[in-house]
Chain A
Amino acid sequence: MDKGLVTVIGMSIAYVASFLGMGLAWWSWRKRTREGKRDGDGR
């Protein structure tokens, strides 16, 4: 396979882990923001 192609494929594989980590951060952030809002409304 073309060296350039395998390089960018390898790079894209490494990016998958970053996107997963970012997804977890976003999920947690959203959860805490909602909890914070609920706490604020309850007061």
Chain B
Amino acid sequence: MLSPVMEFTFVDWGWALAFLLLMVGGAFFFYKLARRSESDFFLAGRGLPWWLPASSVFSTHTATDTPMWITGVVYAHGLRGLWYTFFTAWTAVGAFVSARIFRRSLAYTQAEWQSLRFAGLGSELLRGWLAGWQFFMNMFILGWVGIAMGKVCNLVFGWPVWVGLVVPTLITAVYTLAAGYWGVVMGDFLQGIVAVFAIVLVSLVGVVAAGGPVEITTRIVEMGQEWRLDPFAFTGWTGGDFPALWWLTMLVIAVLGGFGMGTSIDWYVEAQRIQSSRSVRDASYGLWAGGLVTLMRNAFWAASILAFFVLLPGIADAADYELGWFRLGFELLPVGLVGVFFGAILAIHLSTISSHLNLGALYFTRDLYQRYLHPEAGERRLVWVGRAATVVLLVGSFFYGLMMEEITRWLIFALWLMMAGIWLPNILQVVWWRFNAWGYLSSWIANLGVSWLVVWILPAFGILPSLPDHAQFWLLMALGAAVFVPTTLLTRPEPMDHLVRYYVMTRPLGWWRPVHDEAVRRGLIADEPSPETRAGRRPLIRRTWTAAEAQDWTREDWIAIVLSPLVYGCVLFGLVRVLLLQPSGLWLLALAVVGSLAIYWVIDPKLRAVSIEYEQRQAGYAADLERKMRWENDG
């Protein structure tokens, strides 16, 4: 077990305090920007260069419980456990599909997007549904992450769990309340740097402590556990604890999920980062880079957990081995650096807490208060409502963390089930014009019913066996489709006027031909190929674009979409192999570099053209959106 209480010297406390002051002070500095408007308080005025949303994506998804979870799957499964973390790969495709579409919609939130994509009562019900869902989920995530911090502080200092839950979260709330999303994103940047430093440092120290990379692989082979070094060590097609069908299911969920919105719980956080980017191009690169750095982090963690396994191979209790990475840091770092390490844990915690406080407040303010309770509210009032909602979330998260710890554990499982039933609808609402609000809403409600049936009622009565996770996912998806497909086809399509407006604004990918043709007929978009294309001189890879032609989805987009997840995979497994001094890692990293350059070369001219063209229209769209918020021009 971890040493019950760590010895913190004066130097350690000094470092931890210095980091805290840097991170909180740096975020607080942006107080004046946040109070200007709702857009500033929640989206930093939609003016961020790509590297700020990217660092925020990474920092937000590096929470106190993340190293525990990744330690758990790598300790139990070896390198194949990294596939559990590969769900992040939805950003590989999402960066070039859903990010582009969502940024162009100008929706503050996913709930607001529903009312742009769909029309009428159905769209409003969906907006309220998702706003309620997200307000609750952010409170739940805050409680979940907060309790993890409470446990870490309990183990390190012997403090009661509530102290670690409440105190760091309160510190975060101070700058989140004052500086809003400006404080969140600037804090995330500083916290991201601190977190990367600590992750790299502790992981390398762990590898060295286990005798170095060669010793780690040698010892694992000597133990007869060489499967731990193979990411494709399946236990058969359907049986065992890592069947190939489970791997395929995870891969499909992650990669194809990037075509949709909301296919991952992370989407809702990323949507805010996408919308806060200063252009469509910045939104794409921000999401892509944020996801990639997150996977690189996982590679460092994986190498250090293999080292931890070599040092302590026989831990059977998951609650013990999940603390492996924390143990490496607290037990191996010298005096002084332990304080730096704790400062980094604080950074990890603060970044996640601040993001979810601000995001939950956004859904309450924009989608519940402004849309349904007080559409005429002014900017100052909305900023104050945002602050009040932040306090409600804060108090609610303490309640969840302290009083309902068991329920938060249940909800983690529940998230998986919910994703199964709405995963396909989340994609269809983006790529298929005929999918309507009633189809999407029915998929959410049907998912509750079929989950009760498949997960508990039928197994409890012996009608259906308890299914492995991958079988459960596909069955829930199929049963959900049996409800939402007929519902969609038996109800009316969204009004063509509404669809045309949405199409012209966002130019979505997929099956939108009737809407496209109508938009052309109305003279809202051009469908004229360029003289170059007409003359048949289109190059294989096109690098100069007219504004009109850049709007269409072309082979350049598909090249980026296909290459991107491959680059992610090469980086994840290439980096971990390099850290274990395996030559194949260098080849994989070289492929990743070539692939990244190819993506940039192919897609950047097009993204630039799309961004320039769109920015000319953005002010008009934004004004229209605000009129809609006040129920002035609903169509």
Which residues of B380-421 have CB atoms within 8 Å of chain A's CB atoms?
406-407, 409-411, 413-414, 417-418
- A25/B127 in contact, CB under 8 A: yes
Main secondary structure of the interface of A (DSSP, over half): helix
The answer to whether residues A7 and B372 also contact, given A17-B132, A17-B135, A32-B631 and a CB cut-off of 8 A, is: no
Tell which of B47-55, B346-354, B444-452 binds the partner: B444-452
Task: Please name all residues of chain A whose beta carbon is closer than 8 Å to the beta carbon of B87 when the two chains form the complex.
Answer: none
Min CB–CB distance B109 → chain A (angstroms)? 12
Q: How far is the CA of A32 from the CA of B136 in the complex (A)?
A: 26
10 tightest A-B CB contacts, nearest first: A21-B132, A25-B128, A10-B410, A17-B136, A11-B414, A28-B372, A10-B414, A21-B128, A7-B413, A4-B456
- The minimal Cβ–Cβ distance linking B476 to chain A, given in whole angstroms, is 11
- Residue in contact with B129 in the complex, picked from A11, A12, A21, CB distance below 8 Å: A21
For chain B, the bracket of interface size reads 35 or more
Contact A4 B455 (CB under 8 A): yes
How distant is the Cα of A12 from the Cα of B451 in the complex, in angstroms?
10
A32 (CB) vs chain B CBs: closest residue: B631
B634, chain A: closest CB distance, angstroms: 9
Interface string of A12-23 (1 = CB under 8 A from B): 111111111111
A9 partner residues in chain B, CB cutoff 8 A: 410
Can you report 9 residue pairs joining A to B where beta carbons are below 8 Å apart? A7-B455, A7-B456, A11-B411, A16-B136, A18-B136, A21-B128, A21-B131, A24-B373, A29-B125
- Over the window 417-433 of chain B, the binary record of Cβ atoms lying under 8 Å from chain A Cβ atoms (1 yes, 0 no) is 11000000000000000
Contact of B368 among A15, A16, A24, A26 (CB under 8 A): A24
Evaluate contact between B448 and A11: CB separation under 8 angstroms.
yes
Instruction: Known pairs A7-B456, A8-B455, A22-B129; list 18 more (Cβ under 8 Å).
Output: A5-B460, A7-B413, A8-B414, A8-B451, A8-B452, A11-B417, A14-B137, A14-B140, A17-B133, A17-B135, A17-B136, A18-B444, A21-B130, A24-B128, A28-B124, A28-B372, A29-B124, A29-B125
Closest-CB distance, A25 to chain B (whole angstroms): 3
- Interface size for A (C-beta < 8 A) is 29
A29 touches B455 (CB 8 A): no
Query: With a CB–CB cut-off of 8 A, which chain B residues contact A6?
Result: 406, 410, 413
Whole-angstrom distance between the alpha carbons of A15 and B129 in the complex?
Answer: 9
| Contact in complex: A7, B129 (CB < 8 Å) | no
Chain B residue at smallest Cβ distance from A25: B128
In the complex, whether B577 has a CB less than 8 A from a CB of chain A is no
Question: A11 → chain B, closest Cβ, in Å?
Answer: 4
Contact A25 B372, CB 8 Å, known A10-B410, A11-B414: yes
A24 partner residues in chain B, CB cutoff 8 A: 128, 132, 368, 372-373
Q: Please report which residues of chain B, range 448-505, place their CB below 8 angstroms from some CB of chain A when the two chains form the complex.
A: 448, 451-452, 455-456, 459-460, 466
Measured between beta carbons, the chain A residues less than 8 angstroms from B631 are: 32
Q: Which B97-156 residues have a C-beta within 8 angstroms of A?
A: 121, 124-125, 127-133, 135-137, 140
Contact A14 B136 (CB under 8 A): yes
Q: Is B371 interfacial (CB-CB < 8 Å)?
A: yes
B359 CB to closest chain A CB (Å) equals 15
Min Cβ gap B120→A in Å is 9
Q: Does A41 contact B (CB under 8 A)?
A: no
